[in-house]
Amino acid sequence: MLITTLNVLAPVLFVLLLGYLGWRIKAFDANQVAGINKLTLDFALPATLFVGVASIPRTELTGDVPFFLAELIALLGLYLAALLIGMKLLRLGAGASSLFALGASFPSAPFFGPAVLGGYFGPKSALAIASIAIVANLILLPITVVLLEVAQEENAESESSMSGANAAGDGKSGMSTAIRNGVLHAVKRPYVLAPVAAVVLVLLGLHVPPLATSMLELIGRTTSGISIFVAGLLLAAFRPKLNGVVGVNVILKSLVQPAMMIALVGLLSLSKPMAAEAVASVALPAAVITPMLAARYGTFQSEAGSNMLITSILMMFAVPISILIAR
């Protein structure tokens, strides 16, 4: 286990540091980082997820419903709990609370998953990455975007001189637009569409031609290295901040979520290989999308970046320990 951990996590840490140094020495600017990020999420990762899920036998895929259910509960359940903690206990606004909840519940599977989970579990780890991508992008992100839009709308209303009736009407219109746009934006993400399309093909009993698999694998092989490098670039772009809010966020992500999954593994009686994979998948760091949204909406920026940075460091301990406990 120690040798496997070194073989898997040492290269991840090395590439992460390369990306971090790349930003510090100004080898890349913000536009270049955005372009590399788009290459990873819109081209390389969807190809990897499609091939990985499409290669799973139908009998095995249909038998993995408890696994998907465990991922759904671990992500959505913690998101809702963290949202309440942010709003009621920490007294954060709706927008900041939604980012706090997203940082606590959304593992960075698209960035770290192919390298870390693939190193431990091989190609079948695509199912865990796909499950997280589907749950997070079809449920968590739309909720987060809606709350951010509503908070932004409320701030705009408080600064305007419109009448109360007009403001209420515009608020309802803005909320419905935010919900619609959030869901449509999530559904259109290539790394959500790709695994969904692969699941449909497997359930229909259709096989992907070897030539098509080879073509997708060629671009998909770049996912691990580039995604970790981009994560390093993004980590360097945020100034760390340590306070109580960040501390609670880190505890929820790196301790509470893996503990939740360990409980779900026993409750749903997942088999040993799938149990370890499920726990390791949620022990990954907070998703990179959280500080991206924070920067876009101008709220919770330093806290979101700090949470991602600290949970990335803790990943070196959280992932192997989680796998040992699950086994």
What does the domain layout of the chain look like in residue ranges?
A: 2-326
Residue 286, φ and ψ in degrees, nearest 5: -60, 145
| CATH architecture of the domain formed by 2-326 | Up-down Bundle (1.20)
Tokens of 255: 């301790």
Q: What is the pTM of this model?
A: 0.81
Distance in angstroms (rounded) separating the CA atoms of residues 310 and 304: 10
| DSSP codes joined into one string, 11-75 | HHHHHHHHHHHHHHTTSS-HHHHHHHHHHIIIIIHHHHHHHHHHTS-HHHHHTTHHHHHHHHIII
Contact 220, 44 (CB under 8 A): yes
Strands in 204-263 per DSSP E: none
Residues of the chain with pLDDT under 70: 1, 156-179, 181-183, 185-186
Contact 51, 193 (CB under 8 A): no
pLDDT digits (tens, 9 = 90+) for 162-221: 445 454 455 556 666 666 766 676 677 787 788 888 888 988 999 899 999 999 999 988
Contacts of 222 (CB under 8 A, 6+ apart): 39, 40, 44
Cα angle 156-286-189, degrees, rounded to a multiple of 5: 70
Q: What is the pLDDT of residue 45?
A: 83
